Homo-oligomer: A and B are copies of this chain.
Amino acid sequence: MESKAAIYEVMYRRRDIRRFRPEPLPEETLAVILQAAHHAPSVGFMQPWNFVLIREQSTKEQVSALFEQENALAATVYDHERQQLYRRLKLAGILASPLNLCVTCDPTRGGPHVLGRHTIRETDVYSTAAAVENLWLAARAEGIGVGWVSILNNEALKRILQLPSHIIPVAYLCLGYVDSFGDEPELQKVGWAQRLPLASLVYYEQWGQQSHPNWTPLPFPKDELIPTCELTYHSQHGRDALTYYSKGIPLTASWY
């Protein structure tokens, strides 16, 4: 039972991280979280992913410049007040994080006829996104923060990392230890967006049906009833995260 609770716990405690500590990641830990990513599901067992690991300052600086440029453009789409809030948000930790990682998708892997991809071609990038989620959860279990930087121009990113033209950069991630994982998503904390009520997202038998004669509405767990356990970290650098949990912060505060 405790094992099962640990799986939910790591999902509820995962955060998109933009503030990192500078300590490098132990190579053993990095290997283990890449292994977790590699065990994601993939269409036709195609395993379309590659992992480009980046520690060099010059590369990080190029990607960071790309982010700054795109982020300045992105800010302009918002109206006055929201734009002010947007500009105050910290949306990437490219230079501060000890490791950057680009997870890519090779649509040609496994030849032209990947089993199960005949009619829905996008299943290759979906597989890669599942690998990113596995990596994110494994990192969280190791006390390592992950931030997904999507405010980038992919064509420019491909030039920086020398990706062949057919390779799709699915995720540009920043990884590193953190001071804390935050008790709720950053965007919720600052009032940018709220978690939606799950019941409003579930339909019975067909689109739009929020009730149905053959269903009783699902008993979604109240936050305080979500099974939980203390994740224990044993890595040297994960100690802060451990301290954070042991403070006994009410769990209700953590899932939104």
**Which A residues lie at the B interface, using CB under 8 A?**
1-12, 14, 16, 27-28, 30-32, 34-36, 38-41, 43-47, 49-56, 59, 70, 73-74, 77-78, 86, 89, 91, 104, 110, 113, 115-120, 122-123, 125-127, 129-130, 132-134, 136-138, 141-142, 148, 150-154, 161-164, 167, 170-171, 185, 187-188, 192-193, 195-196, 198, 201-208, 214-216, 218-221, 226-227, 229-234, 255
**Is the beta-carbon distance between B202 and A120 smaller than 8 angstroms?**
no
Give bound CA distance, A129 to B161, whole Å.
25
Residues of chain B within 8 A (CB-CB) of A205 are: 52-56, 59
Give bound CA distance, A154 to B126, whole Å.
15
**Is the beta-carbon distance between B150 and A123 smaller than 8 angstroms?**
yes
A232 to chain B, nearest CB (A): 6
Q: Given A31-B221, A167-B207, A198-B35, A11 and B138 touching (CB < 8 A)?
A: yes
**Is the beta-carbon distance between A234 and B1 smaller than 8 angstroms?**
yes
Q: Of B115, B116, B201, B232, which is within 8 A of A4 by CB?
A: B232
In the complex formed, the residue of B with least CB distance to A117 is B150
Give bound CA distance, A115 to B92, whole Å.
12
**Is the beta-carbon distance between A47 and B196 smaller than 8 angstroms?**
yes
Q: Of B14, B34, B126, B162, which is within 8 A of A206 by CB?
A: B162
Residues of chain B within 8 A (CB-CB) of A73 are: 118-119
**Is the beta-carbon distance between A119 and B70 smaller than 8 angstroms?**
yes
